[in-house]
Copies of this chain bind each other. A is one copy, B any other.
Amino acid sequence: MRYLPLTEADRRAMLATIGAPSVDALFKDVPAAAVRRAPVDLPHHAGELSVERQLKAMAGKNLVAGEVPFFVGAGAYRHHVPASVDYIIQRGEFLTAYTPYQPEIAQGTLQYLFEFQTQVAMLTGMEVANASMYDGSTACVEAVVMATRVTKRKKAILSGGLHPHYAEIAATHAAYGDFTLDSAAADPEGLEDLASRIDDQTACVVVQNPSVFGHIRDLTPLANAAHAKGALLVVVVTEAVSLGALMPPGAMGADIVVAEGQSIGSGLNFGGPYVGLFATREKYMRQMPGRLCGETVDADGKRGWVLTLSTREQHIRREKATSNICTNAGLCALAFTVHLSLLGETGFTQLAALNHAKTSQLVEKLKAVPGVRVLNEAFFNEVTLVLPKDASAVVEALAQKRILAGVPAARLWPDHSDLKNHLLVAVTETVTDEDMDALVAGLKEVLA
């Protein structure tokens, strides 16, 4: 077997050194009833060619986004990732490294994490950021937990524009943890008033921008309202590219910003792995979850980096830790940092502008489809359409024509019958004019 270098001769020699008659003897502490005499009932080992065939057969049963006109978003976005990003993250020195607990031989990982933290802070307009979370959705609930810790209050208000998956995760944690939720109704029009819900029990208000329906709003009044009551404003961003075009959450008064970083550096991957961004104000630094990389000097006085403030973390603090989190999304964070370094200030703002312009272009083109209404006044790269028919059926019909038209709201809010004709449509730089025309033509046909 190709991954196992011991030979039979090695095994015999090693057993002799150990003084054990067999490998079985080394398992003598296993209760007899649990000792297996033979491998479990699964196929036996297979070569690369065979494994490739099996997995390619499965892969071949999926409709690949890049092969069709593609408008699916709602929390994961198809952007073009330069080839050099994937090259860098595949380098063994990054790919096969461990968490950088031995900083002398992990300066590579540590330096990019420091760069990542800086980039995240810059993008969000915040003072500090951590070294990444699992993804945006789990970062969101960690923000809520952190807000309860900072404010010593137990209630979180969730916007109706928050991605339902994010809200559901918060609900799981609330149900089994130590805080409660006040969740606003789904807000397809982007007109909800959350400020009036804030009271002096409120730990935080969680609002997504752009909202899951694609609306963008100035959050400054909400931040002021929250702060007036001693609550924090948590801003969620699921499309990180939007930060290249929009006023950053930090500038609108956010106290914690969490984001899904997948758009920068990572592919769609059917939902994971992605990378969660987590940023806050410096004064809350020691309340953050997750790893932090900090600058220091070595024995020779040279600048270097280490993991720091680990007294917040589970491996030191155990049950008193700020989070149980251990793993982060290292390699996806690296992809984020490399991609964003390639983009730079100029490229990133251009990319965001391009996404917006293309979306606006599609909105114009959709005017040609009778019966379709765009709900959004202001948007970045995603909008909500109201169709004259059940959106799920329309999406399925278009999928049969090899057009992936978007996410029917019913996929995310299955119980909301008033959303059954709503369709979320996202546009990125990977969408061509021909793709848009195919969507417009497809919609006309299916809706006719």
Interface residues in chain A, defined as those with a beta carbon under 8 Å from any beta carbon in chain B? 2, 47-49, 80, 82-83, 87, 90-92, 342, 429-430
Minimum CB–CB distance from A334 to chain B (whole Å) comes to 16
Minimum CB–CB distance from A56 to chain B (whole Å) comes to 9
Name the one of B2, B48, B429 contacting A49, with C-beta atoms under 8 angstroms. Answer: B429
> Given the complex, which residues of B lie within 8 Å of A82, measured CB to CB?
48
Query: Are B430 and A49 closer than 8 Å at their CB atoms?
Result: yes
Of all chain B residues, the one with the shortest Cβ separation from A83 is B48
Alpha-carbon gap, A342 to B90, bound state (A): 20
Alpha-carbon gap, A91 to B48, bound state (A): 21
> Given the complex, which residues of B lie within 8 Å of A90, measured CB to CB?
87, 90
Alpha-carbon gap, A2 to B344, bound state (A): 11
Of all chain B residues, the one with the shortest Cβ separation from A91 is B91
> Given the complex, which residues of B lie within 8 Å of A87, measured CB to CB?
90, 92
Alpha-carbon gap, A83 to B2, bound state (A): 13
Name the one of B49, B83, B91 contacting A80, with C-beta atoms under 8 angstroms. Answer: B49
Minimum CB–CB distance from A434 to chain B (whole Å) comes to 11
Alpha-carbon gap, A49 to B431, bound state (A): 11
Minimum CB–CB distance from A150 to chain B (whole Å) comes to 43
Q: Apart from A47-B80, A48-B83, what are 11 other A-B pairs with CB-CB below 8 Å?
A: A2-B342, A48-B80, A48-B82, A49-B80, A49-B429, A49-B430, A87-B90, A87-B92, A90-B90, A91-B91, A91-B92
Alpha-carbon gap, A2 to B83, bound state (A): 13
> Given the complex, which residues of B lie within 8 Å of A48, measured CB to CB?
80, 82-83
Minimum CB–CB distance from A80 to chain B (whole Å) comes to 5
* Interchain residue pairs with CB less than 8 A apart (8): A2-B342, A47-B80, A48-B80, A48-B83, A49-B80, A87-B92, A90-B90, A91-B91
> Given the complex, which residues of B lie within 8 Å of A92, measured CB to CB?
87, 91
Alpha-carbon gap, A255 to B12, bound state (A): 44
Minimum CB–CB distance from A148 to chain B (whole Å) comes to 44
Minimum CB–CB distance from A7 to chain B (whole Å) comes to 11
Alpha-carbon gap, A47 to B429, bound state (A): 11
Alpha-carbon gap, A92 to B94, bound state (A): 14
Alpha-carbon gap, A2 to B343, bound state (A): 10
> Given the complex, which residues of B lie within 8 Å of A91, measured CB to CB?
91-92
> Given the complex, which residues of B lie within 8 Å of A342, measured CB to CB?
2
> Given the complex, which residues of B lie within 8 Å of A80, measured CB to CB?
47-49
Of all chain B residues, the one with the shortest Cβ separation from A49 is B80
Minimum CB–CB distance from A348 to chain B (whole Å) comes to 14
Q: Which 9 A-B pairs have the closest CB atoms?
A: A49-B80, A48-B82, A48-B80, A49-B430, A48-B83, A87-B90, A49-B429, A91-B91, A2-B342
Minimum CB–CB distance from A378 to chain B (whole Å) comes to 27
Minimum CB–CB distance from A4 to chain B (whole Å) comes to 14
Alpha-carbon gap, A430 to B50, bound state (A): 9
Minimum CB–CB distance from A54 to chain B (whole Å) comes to 13
Of all chain B residues, the one with the shortest Cβ separation from A47 is B80
Minimum CB–CB distance from A141 to chain B (whole Å) comes to 35
Minimum CB–CB distance from A203 to chain B (whole Å) comes to 43
Alpha-carbon gap, A168 to B92, bound state (A): 45
Alpha-carbon gap, A80 to B46, bound state (A): 14
Alpha-carbon gap, A130 to B90, bound state (A): 32
